[in-house]
Structure 1
Amino acid sequence: MTSTALVQANGVGKVVSTAEGQLTILHRISLSVAAGESVAITGPSGSGKSTLLGILAGLDLPSFGEVQLCGQNLTALDEEGRAKVRAESVGFVFQSFQLLPGLTALENVMLPMELHGMKNARSRAEEYLARVGLAERLTHYPQQLSGGEQQRVAVARAFASQPKVLFADEPTGNLDIHTGAKIIDLLFELNREQGTTLILITHEERLAQRCGRRVHLVAGSLEPETDPVPEEA
């Protein structure tokens, strides 16, 4: 792994047992992502994108190969060790928002920071909810928020703890075009400000084009990388 790579996969594969026998989901994936990069993982449904993201983030283990995240060999750690790396260095934005329904917007953003022992969790949560345009919605519960507002809460939660790496899995998948465009702008605005390394899965061309580069998965294998196509004015 190079000194500037925050995320590195070396020959990573994933094989699962099914009623029909062994099923290979990922075929010896090697991928390096440097600090501050933004990388889109694209590919058809069932190509292994979410599996790869989960392995890179330490949410799952590969069947073989090695994954390094922020200088830690995830494949050599137990679940407690991987959870510690995630808590210290990683943020997540999911398609389904993943907000706790019994907590307010403010409490949802505060929770990860409180679990990590950050003393200024409340002030940081208020700051980032204001940044995403929800200063007047701090005490609202998820069911009182629109889909776009819930995703903005999730974005605030992800960036508030200032992660080194942010993983996003179809972050605009449940949003309409207009709302999705706002979330995309917000992701990259905060990404630029904090210098966060951004790795995301998307089916949306407009989102992939905003990334510095993309990798394309087909049937669990990486195709040669391509440069992003500039957006039309």
Structure 2
Amino acid sequence: MTTIVRNLQLVRDRITTACFAANRNPATVRLLAVSKTFGADAVADAASDGQRAFGENYIAEGVEKILALRTQAGMPALEWHCIGPVQSNKTRVVAEHFDWVQSVDRLKIAQRLSEQRPPDLPPLQICLQVNVDGGANKSGLPPDEVLALAREVAQLPRLVLRGFMSIPEPAIDFIAACAVHARAKAIFDEINASGVLPTRMDTLSMGMTGDLEAAIHAGSTMVRVGTAIFGDR
């Protein structure tokens, strides 16, 4: 058993334990393995243990891995999430290679992704990035701007609005972490309940290596874990 496979099993155990503590079904929380700065071999190692969804912050690095693994003999189909900032000059390559984009916070970027998504590929799955705690060093929409962008993005062809992603500043303890994640969940629930979108959102991507338990307690449906799987960068 490799270190990555062992780490994956430990992370899955953490998710299961956190779900039971929150009276949730572990099947309601997906694991996104964040493979940024690690090579295709590390992704292949995780894939050998059944991990299928991978997140990349750096677009060029991610595309290199996507192309390398797509042609590797015996490699199962993988699901690739862009979780880093997307500039206008990178939308085409993102639209052509990734399955999800979790970091949309401007209508212009969403429009370009929609226009540039190849017609032979399934629609691009989209999460809006929400700056739920106003962190000065974090990208994302202020909470009071989320609804307006969600309504616009939900109307774009070649895109499917799945939900929100958030990366709050580190909290001082579990209770504080739960509270900040709960803010994102409240926005998510409020917009879903409003009925203004054509379909309900189903994805709340929040929680990483250090705070996945708090995020699951607050209602996360997808945790993005890198360090606890692949090691320190």
TM class, shorter-chain normalised?
0.3 to 0.5
Higher strand share: 1
Higher helix share: 2
Which TM-score applies when normalising by structure 1?
Answer: 0.35
Structure with the bigger RCO (C-alpha within 8 Å, sep 6+) is 1
Which TM-score applies when normalising by structure 2?
Answer: 0.35
